[in-house]
Structure formats: structure tokens, C-alpha cells
Amino acid sequence: MFKTTENSLQYVDCHSHLFDDMFNEDLDKVIEKAKDRNVAAALVCSVTVRDFPKVLYLSEKYQDFVVPCLGIHPVQKDEKGEQMCVKHTDISEALSLIEKHKDVIGAVGEIGLDFQPRITPTSEEKDVQRAVLKAQVELANKLNIPINVHSRSAGKPTIDALKELKPASVLLHAFDGRPAVAMEGVKEGYFFSIPPSIIRSEQMKLVKQLPIENIVLETDSPGLGPVKGERNEPSNISVSCDYVAKIKGMKVEDVMKITTMNAIKIFPRLKSFINI
């Protein structure tokens, strides 16, 4: 149970990208603001292998707040900065680095599938994404580490793939699939994180249908904020919490408690960050 002291209620941001260049000038202030608003910790997920040193650096500098997650996203960038589908070669270096840092990371992530037609127009590219996902989930299984999963325009394919790979602990972040598909994940014990952009999205039915026992909170900072186009921050996690409470007809404090305890279930390393 949570302690009943005045400041015992705490949030966990289960998916963010605080290494992003948008935080270069004021990350200290961003994190202090989050702490002032009772955010106890943020999981910071890499996108490319080039992000790994940045994520690890932040976890050392802000070791009372940042939980590092290392993984390769299904969408990468070419030399010109244009988005492109991940390649087999993107994963080779990453796997050894993930294993090297297994004792400090909170999850393997951000990993998953992204079947947007402009990114993944062919079945061959979808197969590459599946192979890259499989390699990372198998490593997570070997290391007994949770996974932090992306599934844009690929809700059912992602859940189908995870059913086959049988990871022990799964967070599906910012799920944009149908509620019925999400419920397939619920049956498998998967969790779903809700970002502040929920207040301007069409996913109210998802929040309504998901059991509170399978919901956690995220910001995906600097993306998916409550105001489109504005930089998102971990302090906005309360927007997600308030929305879930409203849709569920629950007290905000209860949503805060339950989602934080759910986060600890997924990511055991959070225990050292939370007052319980």
C-alpha cells in the first residue's frame, strides 16, 4: 500500500524521450517541474542505437528520476534525416549493448512495429520489422527484462507477434488500434499507457474498455502532448490521469495509485523510485 503521508501520491511516466534535442537547454528545469508535480520517475526510451549513450548518460545524471530503456524503434532515419523502415543491420550492435547494460535498464524499448504506408509500404519491410522485433523480444526474454512497445498502425500485428514470442512483461504505449484488439492484449496480461494527447484523440473508447488494472500513464515527451505542436513534458502526466479518472468515473487519487502500482508490476526497477 502507498504511504499516507501528504506527498505519498506519485505518478510514473512510463514512456518518454527526454534525450531529445528539444530538452537540450532546460532539462534540469523540466525534471524539477515534474518532481514538484509528484512525478516520481520517467522511463526514457531510445529510438536508435545512437541514442543509447544519451539515455545512459541521463540515467546517471538523474539517477533519482530517469529509468533507462534501450531498444531499436521500427522507424529509423537516413543520412538526410528522413524517416525510413528499420533494417537488419540496425540491430546488430544494439543487441550486444542491451545485454551489456542489462543490470541498469528498466526495459528493452522502444521496440515494435510501425506499418504506416509511407514508412512500410511493402510486405518485405514488414517482415524486416517483425524480425527486428523478434530479436529484441527474445533477448528481453533471455535477460528477464520487460519490453516497452510501439505499435502504430499495427495494433493487431503487434499483439499477434507478441503472443507468439511470449514476453513476460509488456507495455504497449500510445496504442492506436481498436479496443477489441487491445482486449486481446489484456487477456495476455499486457498493459497499455495513456498519453496526454488522449484529450484530443479518438481513443476514448479504448480507455473506457480497458480495465484500470491494465492501464498506466505516459507522456511520450516531447511528443503526444495535450496541445498539438507544443513540446510535451513529464509534468503533463496529470492530464492523462485526470482524463482516465473522468472516463472511468473514478477519483483522480485512485487512478494515480493504481496506475503507479501497475507500473511497478511491469517495471520492477521502479521500486527504488517510489514511496510505497
Residue 15 — very low, low, confident or very high, per pLDDT cuts 50/70/90?
Answer: very high
Mean pLDDT for 65-87 is 95
Do residues 153 and 114 lie in contact, with contact meaning Cβ atoms separated by under 8 Å?
A: yes
How far from chain centre, in Å, is Cα 36?
22
**pTM here?**
0.95
Residue 276 — very low, low, confident or very high, per pLDDT cuts 50/70/90?
Answer: low
pLDDT in tens, 205-229: 999 999 999 999 999 999 999 999 9
Question: Does the pLDDT of residue 177 top 60, yes or no?
Answer: yes
Mean pLDDT value across the chain: 95
Annotated binding site: 15, 17, 110, 150, 173, 220
Report residue 20 as a C-alpha cell: 531529445
Annotated binding site for a divalent metal cation: 15, 17, 110, 150, 173, 220
Mean pLDDT for 3-17 is 75
pLDDT in tens, 224-268: 999 999 999 999 999 999 999 999 999 999 999 999 999 999 999
The domains located in the chain, with CATH, are 11-272 (3.20.20.140)
Of 124, 168, 133, the closest CA to residue 151 belongs to: 133
